[in-house]
Amino acid sequence: MRPVLPAELALGAAVAGLATAAVVRPSPTVPVLTTAALVLAAGCLLVPSSARRLAIVLAAVWLLGWAWGGLRLAALDRSALLPAVGTAGRLRVVVTGEARVGRFSQRVPAGVIRFDRRPLQERVQLELSPGRSPPQGAILSLLAVVKLPRGPDDGFDERTWLRRQGVHVVLHVDEWHVVGRRGGLGGVADRLRAWLRRSSAPGLTGERRAVLEGVVLGDDAGLDDDLKTSFRRSGLYHLLAVSGANVVLLAAGMLALAGACGLPRGWAHVAAIAAILAYVLAVGPQPSVIRAAVSGIAVSVAWLVSRERAPWHILLLAAAVLLAWSPYALFDPGFQLSFAAVAAIFLVVGPTLQVLEGYPVPRKLGAIVAVSVACSAATAPILWLQFGQVPLLGVVANALVEPVVGALLGLALVTAVVAPVAPPLAAVLAWLNGWIAAYTAGCARLVAAAPFAQARGRGAAVAAVCALGCGAYAWWRWRTSFNRPI
């Protein structure tokens, strides 16, 4: 097995320091940081002299990560609108995301740029009555009451959830109208998202279009509640959140296209980086897509500079980028599920494939089962802790759907590229892709219909413990067999 490199240890120390800040926030006063530095220095003296220099460097990196995490948390917790809670005023805001429509209201992410003629920059959540929704990227002039988010209710604490995103107040909107659209990088992101939504599924409507938008854009707003429940119960809900598979497919397609056009390999990687950045702008900064984007860009940069592409190095780099921007990401279910699944793939897929070699299982099906088993075992405890439920038939559902997901994503992206120049061909491709989307939804319903498809409460806890125990046992058996002398 490849030894751990000092660079990976340094990245691990940085990630540990940033994560520590989310759990134990450092005080801004100098004595606390000084005391921590002295304690770490004293601990390093206990390390053997051969490794003392590395230990000191790692301790310093951890301390810097902890201190930086504290600064970022202080910045995220700062709010100029908190003193205005309970008052009404005229505001100008920029809509930064799409509306989430509920039964009695709709919630829209936005950023305030002016409050009663006073310029400021702060993220907020708009609460509007059902009906017309403001488009993403619109600049609104509105009359609203500044309120605090809801506290804990039925197991969900909206106030804490929003605070970890840098949102401290909600605006209960009485009246609004559009006065313009944002420009700059945000405007580019709005246009890319609108183009991808419009061009990836021309002519499709209803459920098939909603499934495609969920897989391609991570937007499940078009799905009805019953189908969302089916995706959750079957263990396929991860398909509706933009994942690393989207970025991998996009980068591979761009490399293949650049190669077919005769571009040098270096320029092909530059094109892949540009495509990844454009896709991130279009779908938004979700933890899973940021992780995959950082990983994909790191792989291309490593090729360009002729450096080794170490999987753990890249994974730690992605974690460091996300946590450096917001240590609160540590508590985000998307962050936890994404990194747990990838780490499980690194650790458990190999041993699982070795076990399956003794059975008459086709190689491609074995790979699908191995990945699904690894991800299910790693994410089951997180699903139980975060949502109190664990899908029990996720391996079956993913084995049914995984062979067509790549085709669905690939056809959607090709359709988006073809639509501006050959609309009839794009319509045919979208029609074919609609059948794949219908098959995916059908598999979700079929698996979810089983009475034992999902465990809740104590059953979910038992399933999570069993999954984690099976994964640990498989890993232990593989390590012991690997280290056994021949």
Residue-wise pLDDT tens digits, 97-145: 888 877 778 888 999 999 888 888 899 999 988 878 888 889 999 899 9
Report whether 96 contacts 136 (CB < 8 A): yes
Return the pLDDT at 89.
87
Q: Using CA of residue 163, residue 168, residue 169, residue 170, what is the dihedral sign? A: negative
Return the pLDDT at 484.
46
Hey, how many other C-beta atoms are within 10 angstroms of the C-beta on 106? 21
The CA distance from 88 to 238, in Å, is 40
Residues sharing a CB contact under 8 Å with residue 442, sequence separation 6 or more, in sequence order: none
Return the pLDDT at 219.
79
Return the pLDDT at 482.
45
Return the pLDDT at 388.
75
Report whether 471 contacts 378 (CB < 8 A): yes
Q: Which CATH class is domain 82-182?
A: mainly beta
Return the pLDDT at 1.
47
Flag residues of the chain having pLDDT under 70: 1-5, 27-53, 154-155, 303-309, 356, 358-359, 361, 456-486
Question: Closest Cα partner for 419 from 237, 201, 263?
Answer: 201
Map out the domains of the chain as residue ranges. 6-76, 82-182, 194-242+320-483, 243-319
Q: What is the pLDDT of residues 209-234, one digit of tens each?
A: 988 888 888 877 778 888 888 888 88
Return the pLDDT at 27.
67
Q: Using CA of residue 60, residue 61, residue 62, residue 65, what is the dihedral sign? A: positive
Return the pLDDT at 425.
92
Check: pTM over 0.95? Answer yes or no.
no
For the packed helices 394-418 and 184-199, what is the interaxial angle rounded to 10 degrees?
A: 100
The CA distance from 349 to 372, in Å, is 9
